[in-house]
């Protein structure tokens, strides 16, 4: 900002020489200031830097996603294998950086049919289809709040849910003793992860997620039968646990619409 003040000649002391400003300069100073004011305003405007932060509009979002879930089958090779999954998600901004999510996903895969009466390395009778339906609830925390930074909004999440196998097995299990048949049933799951929301527009956004998922595999009662127990102490069937927790990693990409 340019500030112009009237210039008054200093009061001369007695005996001091008098210095006078040229009259033309004094009269022309206001016009010079008026001419420089627009230049000062333009310079200030040129210093304005746009913020990399933008507000995230709307409080709800619905999305479809696809991804891949890498799963261990457990020490006894009873669990489902890794596979591709698809699903849908609903999100609600709860306030501040917190938002809630509900996810429904479907994972078609396979698992081994295990006969504990056979030797290690030859216990699989073949594969049976698994149709996992997973329902999850998540609490997510946005690291940038209700704003995006350069259109990006990273977040952390924790959650829990249920997984259920819609499959009914196959004829391979008919040769097993009833107490040796594995059933996935309904499993409690826990998950934690991180992700990034990318704002493609005011309503459209893409989301990438990386998730750690845990669930519990129950061991059929017949696997603990002393008559089937192998002599090799290194064999996982020598002293099987009643159940074991396994953890898998998932990656997904979704396209969401905010409303």
Highest mean predicted confidence (pLDDT) among 86-100, 168-182, 225-239: 86-100
CA 25 to chain CA mean position, Å:
69
- Tracing tokens 């826990």 back to the chain, one arrives at 190
User: Tell me: the pLDDT tens digits for 152-211?
Assistant: 999 999 999 999 999 887 889 999 999 999 999 999 999 999 999 999 999 999 999 999
> Is the confidence at residue 243, as pLDDT, over 80?
yes
The Cα–Cα gap between 255 and 237 comes to 45
Alpha helices in the chain (DSSP H): 23-46
Domains of the chain and any CATH numbers: 57-258 (2.40.160.20)
Question: Is 131 in contact with 105 (CB distance < 8 Å)?
Answer: no
The confidence score (pLDDT) of residue 191 equals 97
Averaged pLDDT of the chain: 87
Structure tokens that stand for 31 in this block: 């016009």
Global pTM reads 0.78
The confidence score (pLDDT) of residue 92 equals 97
The confidence score (pLDDT) of residue 131 equals 97
């Amino acid at each position: 900002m340019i500030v112009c003040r009237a210039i008054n000649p200093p009061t001369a002391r007695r005996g001091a020489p008098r210095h006078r400003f040229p009259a033309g300069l004094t009269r022309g100073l206001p016009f010079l200031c008026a001419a420089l004011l627009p230049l000062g305003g333009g310079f200030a405007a040129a210093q304005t830097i746009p913020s990399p932060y933008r507000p995230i509009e709307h409080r709800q979002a619905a999305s479809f996603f696809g991804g891949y879930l890498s799963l261990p089958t457990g020490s006894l090779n009873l669990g489902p294998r890794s596979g591709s999954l698809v699903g849908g998600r609903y999100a609600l901004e709860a306030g501040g950086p917190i938002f809630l999510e509900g996810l429904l996903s479907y994972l078609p895969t396979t698992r081994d049919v295990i006969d504990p009466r056979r030797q290690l390395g030859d216990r699989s009778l073949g594969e049976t289809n698994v149709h996992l339906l997973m329902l999850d609830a998540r609490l997510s925390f946005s690291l940038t709040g209700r704003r995006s930074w350069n259109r990006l909004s990273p977040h952390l999440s924790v959650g829990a849910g249920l997984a259920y196998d819609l499959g009914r097995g196959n004829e391979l299990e008919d040769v097993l003793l009833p107490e040796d048949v594995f059933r996935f049933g309904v499993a409690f799951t826990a998950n934690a992860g991180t992700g990034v929301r990318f704002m493609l527009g005011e309503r459209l956004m893409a989301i990438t997620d990386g998730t750690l998922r845990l669930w519990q595999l129950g061991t059929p009662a017949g696997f603990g039968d002393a008559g089937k127990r192998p002599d090799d102490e290194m064999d996982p069937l020598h002293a099987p646990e009643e159940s074991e927790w396994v953890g898998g990693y998932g990656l997904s990409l979704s396209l969401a619409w905010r409303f």
